[in-house]
Amino acid sequence: MEITNVSEYEAIAKEKLPKMVFDYYASGAEDQWTLNQNRQAFSRILFRPRILIDVSKIDMTTTVLGFKISMPIMIAPTAMQKMAHPEGEYATARAASAAGTIMTLSSWATSSVEEVASTGPGIRFFQLYVYKDRHVVAQLVRRAERAGFKAIALTVDTPRLGRREADIKNRFVLPPFLTLKNFEGLDMGKMDQANDSGLASYVAGQIDRSLSWKDVKWLQTITDLPIFVKGVITAEDTRLAIQAGAAGIIVSNHGARQLDYVPATIMALEEVVKAAQGRVPVFLDGGVRRGTDVFKALALGASGIFIGRPVVFSLAAEGEAGVRKVLQMLREEFELTMALSGCRSLKEITRDHIVAEWDRPRLPPRL
């Protein structure tokens, strides 16, 4: 059966993957309210398309940190991709590069920064968890720099791991034939079986709960790479992130895997954009499955979006070809949405192209 949209990959992944692995990728925290909202909230935003505009040429290109990319659709960090497919992060890196876009590599990847760099040219960011041992962090950041990564995406919403009940039920643990490749030489690459979630135990043992804004400053003393703060959903933290020297902000609720009952990211986006006041670019991840979702995020002020689960689900289904297809489908849908909305370039996408449920009713123009 031909796959015609991104969401269809999830069912294929569910069939193909062991239950423990699929549940790890698919599930959210606790009641999974935010998980469902991340998707559903997009349906609370409708279009106000403009007609009779020459849309024979559509330009989707944009720049991120001065790097030109083919479209504002990038790859979010997702952990342990070799659980989905033997080629794991290698396949994802090649697919991103072929699509002319950015891949973010997870700290908890099953391929190292050096291995991913060896797949060939490409613009790549490195997602960072801050470990209790700062020497480990400094070493990892330097390795990412040496491997040609262009930015650090600092995850700030995980002082502790969210309560993911599927992982507790399944006693989730990294399969024995895999390691967290970036930590292999440091004796931190394995995950022990625990009486709940092996990952939760790993995080409790290794990740620094004392992480604070001063550490964002510290990070700038050990690297010249720009730092994106990933996991901001309020105006207050937006202002603090900018004060702390962030080069960009990623509005993220960690795929609804951390604190349940936080808003969908698309609902939090505008508050963050307004607080940023154009000082740094704001990006969104969480719930994007359609080109229409991409357009809505840009209309609300995002500079681009990142996709996570669609990557691992398509990777499980079809390897590199699956990830390429997801990026291609989103690209084509987004281009069509732009054309049907009367937008020929990203700068033509405005807040007036959408109406959200929370907008005040528009008064009809006085004649």
Query: What is the dihedral sign for C-alpha 170, 171, 172, 176?
Result: negative
**Catalytic (active site) residue 85:** no
| Model pTM score | 0.96
Q: How far is the C-alpha of 172 from the C-alpha of 117, rounded, in Å?
A: 29
Of the candidates 85, 135, 254, 353, the residue annotated as catalytic is 254
Q: What is the pLDDT of residues 95-144, one digit of tens each?
A: 999 999 999 999 999 999 999 999 999 999 999 999 999 999 999 999 99
Q: What is the pLDDT of residues 163-198, one digit of tens each?
A: 999 999 999 999 999 999 998 877 675 667 766 777
- Closest CA relative to residue 238, chosen from 286, 281, 294: 281
Nearest 5°: phi and psi at 164? Answer: -105, 100
Taking each helix axis from N to C terminus, what angle separates 265-276 and 235-243, rounded to the nearest 10 degrees? Answer: 50
Query: For tokens 């997009």, what's the residue?
Result: 42
Q: How open is the CA angle 302-331-6, to the nearest 5 degrees? A: 100
Nearest 5°: phi and psi at 35? Answer: -55, -45
Which tokens is 101 given?
Answer: 């876009």
DSSP 67: E
| pLDDT, position 295 | 98
Q: How far is the C-alpha of 123 from the C-alpha of 27, rounded, in Å?
A: 29
Q: Which residues are within 8 A (CB) of 32 and not within 5 positions of it... i.e. 6 or more apart?
A: 256, 260
Confidence grade of residue 363 (pLDDT, cut at 50, 70, 90): low
Q: What is the pLDDT of residues 33-82, one digit of tens each?
A: 999 999 999 999 999 999 999 999 999 999 999 999 999 999 999 999 99
Q: How far is the C-alpha of 306 from the C-alpha of 353, rounded, in Å?
A: 21
CB 195 within 8 A of CB 173: no
Q: Which domains does the chain have, with CATH numbers?
A: 6-356 (3.20.20.70)
CB 58 within 8 A of CB 339: yes
